[in-house]
Amino acid sequence: MKEYKYKKTFTFEGKRYKVYGDTLEEVIQKKALKVRDLEEARVVLNRSTTVREWSKVCVDTYKVNVSEKSRHNIENMLENHILDHIGQMAVSKVKPVHCQAILNDMSGMSKDMISKVHQLLNLIFRTARENQLIVTEPTSGIVRPEGNVSFRRSITDEERRALLKVCEDVKYIPYLFMLYCGCRPAEALKVRSNDIVSIEGVTALHIRGTKTKNADRYVPLPLDFLSYVNEVSPGGFNLFAEKNGKEHTESTFRWLTHCLKRDMNIEMGARTYRNQLIPPLPLASDFTPYCLRHTYCTDLKKAGVPLGIAKDYMGHADISMTANIYSHSDTDTFLAGARCLGIEGIPPGIPLKGSKSS
């Protein structure tokens, strides 16, 4: 790296910037040009463009059709996992060893998060090459750490009974749309009465998903569930709002889930003291709203819905995601197979490998 005789540091809108030069006059001129570019919100693209500068241009240009939440997640990944390491480096100076170090630093994190950061690195440097900022991509050949895989599960029969009882409170109805229709949490919060339609005589729910093009979909709506919703919330429902009429945010939905778990624990027999739950708690600690969506998929499997149709109902972009759930063994499917083979009894003391729930 070339050594410069002069360096000048300045602050612009709370951020620190540095300029270098062989003469004091050159440094002053570079600072003036940099301030001008910042004031005009324009990044001059060349081989000296930093990763931080290019990543902002990259996201603004190539991630225009993502939701506000997705953009927020991308910016967080950038700041926490990429820019902390190489943000001030010139794009042209980044080597594969730098990118590999970023992924190595994520060892022990979830496999999904590592994969997303890897994809983001690929996007940044692939588009940098396409815009002739670099000749070769430093992400070529880097290896992702194994990462941790978290398995979501179906809810148990006891949990289902408690959930249905607790969801007699209208504020919890979004969770039933996850259980009976496979909605993601954000999708369930968007459901409105006019999303229930009829398709050639079959009552269906229009799920207005935005995660992928497959997420916007129609799923058949069980009539007993529809009557249940109408009984709990006569005259229609407004599922996405809090009591004050405002839309749920991530924090308010987390609080709603906290309340749901508390009420389910009490319904399942948990004791309280001074309004606090007394451990041990009957509701498993790994219960999350996504367990309800997983349960919907396993219910499709038990009902004999073909894998390809289940993929559409789940709104998956890749059928392998649905197949991963369909491939999970559970006691019910094991017994159904045994009956097909004419085997009515199970030898005692032999656990079912891979079974996590009923």
> Domain containing 301 — which CATH number?
1.10.443.10
> What pLDDT does residue 284 have?
92
315 and 211 co-located in one domain: yes
Which run of H or E residues covers position 180? helix 173-181
Q: What is the pLDDT of residue 211?
A: 66
SS3 347: coil
Using the predicted structure, report yes or no on whether residue 189 has a pLDDT greater than 90: no
**Which parts of 97-220 are beta strand (E)?**
196-199, 202-208, 216-220
Per-residue model confidence (pLDDT) at position 173: 87
Assigned domain for 50 exists: yes
pLDDT of residue 19: 84
Is residue 178 located within the same domain as residue 258? yes
d(CA 45, CA 55): 12
Longest dimension (CA), the chain: 91
Query: Is residue 28 one of the residues assigned to a domain?
Result: no
Q: Which residue has the higher pLDDT, 140 or 41?
A: 140
How far is Cα 208 from Cα 296, in angstroms, rounded to an integer?
18
93 and 47, same structural domain? Answer: yes
* Per-residue model confidence (pLDDT) at position 175: 94
Same domain, 162 and 272: yes
Calculate the average pLDDT of the chain: 83
Average pLDDT rounded to a whole number, residues 189-202: 86
Distance in angstroms (rounded) separating the CA atoms of residues 179 and 196: 16
- Tell me if 53 sits within 8 A of 43, measured CB to CB: yes
User: Is the per-residue pLDDT at 166 higher than 90?
Assistant: yes
Q: How much of the chain exceeds pLDDT 90, in percent?
A: 42
Same domain, 118 and 182: no
Does 37 reside within a domain?
A: no
Structurally, the chain folds into a number of domains equal to 2
For the entire predicted model, the pTM comes to: 0.60
Among 4, 127, 119, 108, residue whose Cα is nearest residue 58: 127
Together in a domain, 269 and 226? yes
Question: What is the residue range of 73's domain?
Answer: 43-130
Residue scoring higher pLDDT (357 or 32): 32
